[in-house]
Structure formats: structure tokens, C-alpha cells
Chains A and B, each alone.
Chain A
Amino acid sequence: MKSILIKNGRIIDPSQDLDLQGNLLVEDGIIKGLCKETTAAEEVIDATGLIVSPGFIDLHVSLCEPGFEEDETIESGTSAALAGGVTSLGCLPNTSPVVDDRSSAEFILLQAERAANCNVFPLGAVTKNHEGKELAEIGQLVAGNAVGFTDADQPIENAEIMRCALEYTRMFHRPILNRPQVPELTEKGQMHEGYYSTVLGLKGIPAAAESIMVNRDIALAELTQGRIHLMCISTKNSVSQIRQAKQAGIRVTADVTPHHLALSDQMLETYDPHYKVLPPLRSQEHIDALIEGLKDGTIDAICSDHTPHATEKKTDEILGAAFGIIGLETLIPVCFQSLIRPEHLSWSEFISKMTIGPAKILGLDKGTLAEGADADITLINPDITYRLEPANLKSSSHNSPFLGKELQGRAEIVLVSGQVRYRAET
């Protein structure tokens, strides 16, 4: 029985409505509860000046293994997760082969166990090989511990398949995670359609491409009583549709990425492929609506949508460059910059979008510092400022638009099941 005392930190746990200066005791990998500063423990962590938060849960992350180890591996990706304060993540099935059967899901778990970094929860494919035609063996994937189902960056295009998927997953009490995007309206698109796509001569992706499928998915969730989670929403209209659906009691949830809050389509003016991402970076009116959606609870969670790409896939002409941004290691500073510093969200509200919010979506018994919970804990240094350098990234890939930028806030110490798995370098 090993005991750890985390003393004199600002303990924020939205699951218990807690925000106070105090001390937290961990015993044998489990949260014991608040205690006195003088409580005896084998190890003491001084949390003075730090925020003590439940470990972050990142809903969907690409770890790229097996099949794309040049971009990321489960080992490197979970190291990056820890450095970002993430103690649990949903691992997207867009690997090669696709995680559409039980053994593939179990391979992910085995590699995660070998890496011994953070908790990894496999997400299984909705359709075989992400082809959108036949359902994958969802029951078998559940037996292999898949916590949700998604075709990752492939939207589930066929409404009949989506209907069946929502109905079928209902009996396993697992959500479907969809990337809403109508393919006919996004084909060859490079960026948000608007003034900047016109000036830059890049084919635009209209906001309606997303909103149309959001509308369909909500209608199907209502029809089937299934549980739909909409990934990476980026438009004003999506937010208002989800808001209405929630009011009507439909089982829909949504997440947003930090980069869609921090960056706008104007960034593409440099033609830097690091700003090329799906859904595309939108204009300010959409960003404002996303922030509003976070504030009023329409958007349940913040997710990095970590999408690593090796340098050669991201540095040539923009039409040939891959879509995607890595985000695990910049979750805290980018959210600080776009949400907390401008006082859109408090620290507690932000932490709830990274802990209890995603835990509910994936049905995980995590995201809390309540007595008896797994001792997954993130200690945040809210004040530290630094420049993000490639050499400091744990991810194998460096496709971040925040490289070279001055940032504030980072994960300082991260515990998984009561073990210190990460300490920031000074």
C-alpha cells in the first residue's frame, strides 16, 4: 500500500463542485479524499502554485499504430498524452488494418500496456474497413473493450447504415461518434469557404457541409433512441441545432478542438499546411458560436483530435499536404489562451470539459477526484510561460501550428492509478 500526499494545491474537481486550496491523499492507486497537510504519507508532492485536477480524458486521438508508425506509435502518442495532462484517451480505429475486429482492439490494449503511459480505450470501427457499407463486428469489439464506435475521419455517409449503427449499439450502451461532413460538399476542399478561400484561390468547404449531416444525425438519434456524439463541430449552425436537440431530450453530445477556438481561416493566408485541418478552421462568427456553446453546455467536451503526420506529409505544396494537427501537448496552453485568459470559461469550467464531460460520453468511471476513484490526477502549472519547440514534443510528429509560439500553462506532474508517470522538465 503506497500512499501519496498532494499538498497545498488548488483542488478543482467539477464532478464534486470543488474548487479549494487543500490536500489530497492517494492510497494504493485510489483517491482517499481530502486531508490535512500534516497527514502522513510515503511520498509527498508539493502542489503549491499548481492546480490539482482529475486526469484529463481525450475523447478521440489518432495513435497511428499499427500501419502508420512513421507518424506516431502507441508509445510516443501516449507519452505525448501524459505531457499534455491526459491520463485516458479514446484511440481512433483509423489504423491499418482498421480496428474493426476484436483482435485489433486487443492489440491496441496490449501495446498500451507495454508503453505503460496513460490509459487507452479503443474506439472500434462502425463499418468494416471504414468503407461505410457493412457494420463491423460491434459485439466482438465490445468484448475487446471498445468503448465507442466511429469511422474516424470518414463520415458515415449512408443514412441507413447510420440508422442501423445507432440502433445496434443501443444494446451495448455505447455511443456512435461521427464526423459530420457531407462528402459532396467537401470534395477537394482545402479550407473554410468564405472571403479568404476566395482571395487565396483554395477550394472552400462551406459550413453547410457540416450542418447538414448534424441535422441528419440528430434526426436519426431521435428516431432510434441511440446515442450520437458529434466530433469536432465547427459551425454556428451545428451549435444551434445541437442546443435545440438537447432541449428536446435527444441523446446527442458534441466536442470541439482547441485549434478551432484559437485559430481562424485567415491563418491560411501564409499557405502554411500546418493550418490545413478537417473540419477547416472557420471564421470568427463560428468561433464565437462555439465558445457560446461551451459556456451554455451545448458542447460537452474539448478534445485534441490529435492527428500526427510525419514532416514530409506536411511541408510541401498545400494541395498535396495531409489534413490534421497534433493537439495533445497543447491542450492546456491553447485553451488557456482562447478560453480562460479572455474569461470565457473559468478553470473549473474548462476542467469539466476535459474530465467529467468526456467521461460521461464514453461511459468511463473516471474524470473525478471523489473518494474511491482511480487516482488519475493532473497537476497544472497555470502561470508558466515558454516557447513551444519541436525538441520538447513527445509526439513523433511536429505538425502543430503553435510551434515557435509563446504559450502559457502546462501539465506539471501527471499521475495514473496513483503512480507519477510524468514530470515536466524544468
Chain B
Amino acid sequence: MNIDHEYRTDISSGWTRKHILGLQDLSKDELNIILNQASEFKRLAAIGETKLTPLAGTVVANLFFEPSTRTRISFGLAAKRLSADTVDFSSSGSSLSKGESFVDTAKTVEAMGVSYVVVRHKTPGAPQLLAQHLDANILNAGDGTHEHPTQALLDIFTIREHFGKIEGLTVTLVGDILHSRVARSNIWGLKKLGAHVIVCGPTTLIPSDISRMGVEVSNSLDEVIARTDCLNLLRIQFERQRGHFFPSIREYAHLFGMNKQRINKAKENVLILAPGPINRGVEITPDVADGPHSVILGQVSNGLIIRMACLYLLHLQRTSSLGNPG
């Protein structure tokens, strides 16, 4: 069954970008195309059109050089929903330790007829490197502490669903900004769409000169919560903690944890996001995580359609540049 004709094609017109490496590179129009395309896929899913065919016959490679469960599953399913074949490569260790370079590994996989490469790597800039060396369209699934564009897009999509807009909202990113690729991508995307962004965390976890990215910096959640429309609670990355960014988990939860008392100070319709996996009792108490303001599970399902939208748009770019649509 070919249902290509059944969904709107005007949404994606104007998309010419070959790779999605980060939200820093994308224009406001491009961000809106992705969000609108995701809305369209969500609409189709709601009427039971869950299996689409535009990528039938193509191969999507998921190259995960860093451990991931959620993002890897989400990308795998997104590709399958679009009828692509998928190949998965996972390696938590350095590719160099096996004697083969990262680029060589990716080239080897590409030689198997792969058109789209989804890549996660611990090294910032690794997707850019593949974009230079491969012919495939590259989709960044998280590169070190640089960017995680699809996570930020799904956060922004969720906020837009809830408020109907992004412009004029105040979004506060809470926690470990220093080590967060999610924070960086969210800042670029939200700023371009007209939000006011506050980064809030302990001084040790706010990186140098971040205000030059156009954000407000705060070290007190209590001070900013009342004027915040959406809180995005970044995960405290225990694996990156070396014991001196803050003295204890208890102290962190005391200063920056989202709990009942803080919810009471917040706007009535405040939205709470968390990219997960969440540490219950650290960034967020269970009653808040499972409470009415939280859309944490909604984010996960939106992640699937955002990744479908990204793959689909890269596919449109590829087929139009080959002059061989469909």
C-alpha cells in the first residue's frame, strides 16, 4: 500500500538541508518544518496510520558509539515506521581501541548501501566529521556534551503542544548545564523560536560565558520558578560527577530538586519536562514526576514522531538531490 499521496506535502516544502547536526545550524523556518512534519505524523498515528512507506527500500544505520537505550530504540522504531531497513551498530568502547578509526568504521557500514546514518558518539563534533567523509545524510543522536538535536526538538514539540506556541514563553533549564548536550540544543532551538531561556543550576555546573548564547543565568530555582512557564529538569549525570561539582546529592536536591513545595510557588499551568532517565528523589520527587504538571512519558512518544520527521525530511533532501523522487 502506498499512502504517500494521503499526507500533506506542503509542510516540508523549503527543506533543503542534508544533515541535522545540531539546532545551532537550523533556521527558525527549518525548526518549524520539523515540528509541523512531526504534527502531521502524529495526526496520522492518531487515525491509525502508524506504518508509512516513504523510506521503503532504503537503509538507516544506527551507529551508537556510546551506551543508549531510549534514543536507540526510538530511532530504530522511527525508521521502521517509515519502512526503512535498519542496521544497528553499538560499541561502548572507543573504536580506536579496536584498531579501526571511527571514520573507517562508519565508512565500512556506509559501503553496505546505507543512505542515512544516525550517530551517537562521546566526542563532540563526531557527526560533523562523518558529514565530511560520508555521502550519507547524517542525523546527530547526541555528540558528547555538544548537541542532542532530536531530544531538544521533542522537548520543544511537547512545549508547543501544551501552550500552542513557543514565542514569549519562559523556559528554565535546571541542573547540570555544563555537561548537558540537551541544554545546548534546547537553548539554540528555543531562542530561535522566541522563548526566554533561563539556565539554573549550581555555579560549578554553569559553563563559562553561557550568557553569550542569549540566556539568563540563575543559581536559585526559588527565585525563577514563579515566572517560569516550563521547567526542563536535566538529569544529574552521576557518571560525570567527580565529587567536587557539588557536595552531596542531598544538598543538590535541597537546592535544585523539584518537589511539592516548589510546585506550589510555580504558575498554575507550569509544564514539567525531563529528558530522562530520571533520578527520582534527586531532580524530581515521585509525586511531581507522576503528577499533573509532568509530561515525561508524553515526551517519549513525541520523541518517536520527531525522529520520524527528521528521517523523512532527510529522505526528501536525498531524493530531490538525486533527481529521483520516491
Q: Is B73 part of the contact surface with A, judged by Cβ < 8 Å? A: no
Instruction: Say whether A317 contacts B123, CB under 8 Å.
Output: yes
Chain B residues closer than 8 Å to A316, beta-carbon distance: 96, 101-103, 129
Instruction: State the Cβ distance, B127 to closest chain A Cβ, in Å.
Output: 9
Given contacts A201-B143, A201-B144, contact A318 B209 (CB under 8 A): no
Other-chain residue from A198, A270, A319 in contact with B209 (beta carbon distance below 8 A):
A198
Q: Is B121 part of the contact surface with A, judged by Cβ < 8 Å? A: yes
In the complex, which residue of chain A has the Cβ closest to the Cβ of B128? A271
Instruction: Say whether A271 contacts B125, CB under 8 Å.
Output: yes
In the complex, which residue of chain B has the Cβ closest to the Cβ of A196? B209
Instruction: State the Cβ distance, B176 to closest chain A Cβ, in Å.
Output: 13
Assembly CA distance A197 to B102 (angstroms): 22
Q: Is A249 part of the contact surface with B, judged by Cβ < 8 Å? A: no
Q: Is B204 part of the contact surface with A, judged by Cβ < 8 Å? A: no
Q: Is B207 part of the contact surface with A, judged by Cβ < 8 Å? A: yes
Other-chain residue from B123, B143, B208 in contact with A195 (beta carbon distance below 8 A):
B208
Instruction: Say whether B128 contacts A204, CB under 8 Å.
Output: no
Instruction: Say whether B125 contacts A318, CB under 8 Å.
Output: yes
Chain B residues closer than 8 Å to A18, beta-carbon distance: none
Instruction: Say whether B102 contacts A317, CB under 8 Å.
Output: yes
Q: Is A320 part of the contact surface with B, judged by Cβ < 8 Å? A: yes
Chain A residues closer than 8 Å to B121, beta-carbon distance: 317
Chain B residues closer than 8 Å to A263, beta-carbon distance: none
Instruction: Say whether A197 contacts B103, CB under 8 Å.
Output: no
Chain A residues closer than 8 Å to B129, beta-carbon distance: 271, 316-318
Assembly CA distance A270 to B21 (angstroms): 12
Q: Is A202 part of the contact surface with B, judged by Cβ < 8 Å? A: yes
Assembly CA distance A355 to B249 (angstroms): 58
Given contacts A195-B209, A198-B210, contact A320 B124 (CB under 8 A): no
Most buried by A among B125, B126, B144, B207: B125
Chain A residues closer than 8 Å to B209, beta-carbon distance: 194-195, 198
Q: How large is the interface on A (under 10, 10 to 19, 20 to 34, 35 or more residues)?
A: 20 to 34
Q: Is B146 part of the contact surface with A, judged by Cβ < 8 Å? A: yes
Q: Is A17 part of the contact surface with B, judged by Cβ < 8 Å? A: no
Assembly CA distance A319 to B144 (angstroms): 10
CB-contacts of B144-159 with A (<8 A): 144-147
Most buried by B among A199, A203, A270, A317: A317
CB-contacts of A226-266 with B (<8 A): none
Instruction: State the Cβ distance, A139 to closest chain B Cβ, in Å.
Output: 42
Assembly CA distance A63 to B125 (angstroms): 31
Chain A residues closer than 8 Å to B279, beta-carbon distance: none
Q: Is A343 part of the contact surface with B, judged by Cβ < 8 Å? A: no
Instruction: Say whether B208 contacts A318, CB under 8 Å.
Output: no
Instruction: Say whether A312 contacts B207, CB under 8 Å.
Output: no
Q: Is B24 part of the contact surface with A, judged by Cβ < 8 Å? A: yes
Assembly CA distance A66 to B187 (angstroms): 50
Q: Is A193 part of the contact surface with B, judged by Cβ < 8 Å? A: yes
Chain B residues closer than 8 Å to A271, beta-carbon distance: 124-125, 128-129
Most buried by A among B123, B126, B128, B212: B123
Given contacts A194-B208, A194-B209, A320-B123, contact A201 B96 (CB under 8 A): no
Assembly CA distance A316 to B95 (angstroms): 11
In the complex, which residue of chain A has the Cβ closest to the Cβ of B122? A319
Other-chain residue from A197, A270, A312, A319 in contact with B123 (beta carbon distance below 8 A):
A319
Given contacts A197-B207, A197-B208, contact A312 B124 (CB under 8 A): no
Instruction: Say whether B124 contacts A200, CB under 8 Å.
Output: yes
CB-contacts of B183-205 with A (<8 A): 184
Instruction: State the Cβ distance, A405 to closest chain B Cβ, in Å.
Output: 18
In the complex, which residue of chain B has the Cβ closest to the Cβ of A187? B242
Assembly CA distance A318 to B123 (angstroms): 7
Given contacts A318-B125, A319-B122, contact A193 B208 (CB under 8 A): yes
CB-contacts of B83-103 with A (<8 A): 94, 96, 101-103
Chain B residues closer than 8 Å to A193, beta-carbon distance: 208
Instruction: State the Cβ distance, A426 to closest chain B Cβ, in Å.
Output: 34
Assembly CA distance A320 to B65 (angstroms): 14
Q: Is B213 part of the contact surface with A, judged by Cβ < 8 Å? A: yes
Chain A residues closer than 8 Å to B181, beta-carbon distance: 201
In the complex, which residue of chain B has the Cβ closest to the Cβ of A206? B208
Instruction: Say whether B184 contacts A201, CB under 8 Å.
Output: yes
Chain B residues closer than 8 Å to A319, beta-carbon distance: 122-124, 144
Instruction: Say whether B103 contacts A202, CB under 8 Å.
Output: no
Assembly CA distance A317 to B289 (angstroms): 38
CB-contacts of A49-91 with B (<8 A): none
Assembly CA distance A195 to B211 (angstroms): 9
In the complex, which residue of chain A has the Cβ closest to the Cβ of B180? A201
In the complex, which residue of chain B has the Cβ closest to the Cβ of A319? B123
Other-chain residue from B101, B145, B212, B213 in contact with A201 (beta carbon distance below 8 A):
B145
The 3 closest A-B pairs by CB, nearest first: A271-B125, A201-B146, A201-B145
Q: List 24 A-B contacts (CB under 8 A).
A: A194-B209, A195-B208, A195-B212, A195-B213, A197-B208, A198-B207, A198-B209, A198-B210, A198-B213, A201-B144, A201-B146, A204-B207, A271-B125, A271-B129, A315-B101, A315-B103, A316-B103, A316-B129, A317-B123, A317-B126, A318-B125, A319-B122, A319-B124, A320-B94
**Beyond A200-B146, A271-B129: 18 further Cβ-contacts under 8 Å?**
A194-B209, A195-B209, A195-B213, A198-B209, A198-B212, A200-B125, A201-B124, A201-B146, A201-B147, A201-B181, A204-B208, A315-B101, A316-B101, A317-B123, A318-B123, A318-B129, A319-B124, A320-B123
Which chain B residues have a beta carbon within 8 Å of chain A's beta carbons? Answer: 24, 94, 96, 101-103, 121-126, 128-129, 143-147, 181, 184, 207-210, 212-213
